[in-house]
Amino acid sequence: MTAPLTIAVTGGAGQIGYQLLFRIAAGDMLGTDQPVRLRILEVPQAMAALEGVVMELQDAAFPLLASVDTTADASVAFEGADHALLVGARPRAKGMERSDLLAANGAIFAAQGRAIQEGASDRIRITVTGNPANTNALIAAAAAPDIPRERFSALTRLDHNRAIAQLAAKTGAPVADVRRMIVWGNHSATQVPDITHATIGGQPAVDLVEREWVKHEFVPTVANRGAAIIEARGASSAASAAAATIDHVRDWARGTAEGDWTSMSVISRGEYGVPEGLVSSFPVTTADGDWTIVEGLELDPDVEAQLRASVAELDDERMQVRALGLLG
Residue numbering of the annotated binding site: 11-17, 92, 98, 105, 112, 129-131, 162
The bridge status of strand 192-194 relative to strand 182-184 is: antiparallel
Write out the binding residues for ligand LMR, residues 218-257 only, by CB under 6 A.
226-227, 229, 236-237, 241
**Least distance from ligand NAD to the Cβ atom of residue 91, Å:** 4
Task: Rank residues 191 and 306 by Cβ distance to ligand LMR and give the closer one.
Answer: 191
- Closest by CA to 134, choosing from 174, 186, 75, is 186
20 within 8 A of 41, measured Cβ to Cβ: no
Dihedral sign for Cα atoms in the order 37, 38, 44, 50? negative
Which residues are CB-neighbours of 142 under 8 A, at least 6 positions away?
Answer: 110, 113, 326, 327, 328
Task: Rank residues 223 and 294 by Cβ distance to ligand LMR and give the closer one.
Answer: 223
Task: Rank residues 133 and 299 by Cβ distance to ligand NAD and give the closer one.
Answer: 133
Element (H, E) at 108: helix 102-119
Options 38, 89, 243, 299; binder of ligand NAD; rule CB under 6 A:
89
Residue 275 and residue 264: Cα distance in Å, rounded?
A: 16
Please tell me whether residue 286 binds ligand LMR under the rule CB under 6 A.
Answer: no
Angle (deg, nearest 10), helices 239-254 and 157-171: 100
**Least distance from ligand NAD to the Cβ atom of residue 145, Å:** 21
Please tell me whether residue 84 binds ligand NAD under the rule CB under 6 A.
Answer: no
194 within 8 A of 183, measured Cβ to Cβ: yes
**Least distance from ligand NAD to the Cβ atom of residue 285, Å:** 21
**Least distance from ligand NAD to the Cβ atom of residue 11, Å:** 3
Write out the binding residues for ligand NAD, residues 98-157 only, by CB under 6 A.
108, 129-131, 133, 155
Options 15, 112, 131, 280; binder of ligand LMR; rule CB under 6 A:
131
Which residues are CB-neighbours of 216 under 8 A, at least 6 positions away?
Answer: none
Residue 20 and residue 64: Cα distance in Å, rounded?
A: 15
216 included as an active-site residue: no
Residue 87 touches which member of ligand NAD, ligand LMR, none, C-beta under 5-8 Å by kind = ligand NAD
**Least distance from ligand LMR to the Cβ atom of residue 109, Å:** 15
Site pattern 71..100 for ligand LMR (x: CB under 6 A): --------------------xx-----x--
Binding site as annotated, residues for NAD(+): 11-17, 105, 112, 129-131
Cα–Cα–Cα angle for 23, 141, 186, nearest 5°? 70
Strand partners, 46: none
Task: Rank residues 43 and 55 by Cβ distance to ligand NAD and give the closer one.
Answer: 43
**Least distance from ligand NAD to the Cβ atom of residue 10, Å:** 4
- Backbone dihedral angles phi then psi of residue 132, each to the nearest 5 degrees: -75, 110
Residue 117 and residue 229: Cα distance in Å, rounded?
A: 35
186 within 8 A of 281, measured Cβ to Cβ: yes
Residue 55 and residue 249: Cα distance in Å, rounded?
A: 25
Report, as residue numbers or ranges, the catalytic residues. 187
Instruction: Note the residues at the interface with ligand NAD (CB under 6 A).
Output: 10-11, 13-17, 41-43, 46, 87-89, 91-92, 108, 129-131, 133, 155, 158, 187, 236-238, 241
Instruction: Note the residues at the interface with ligand LMR (CB under 6 A).
Output: 91-92, 98, 131, 158, 226-227, 229, 236-237, 241
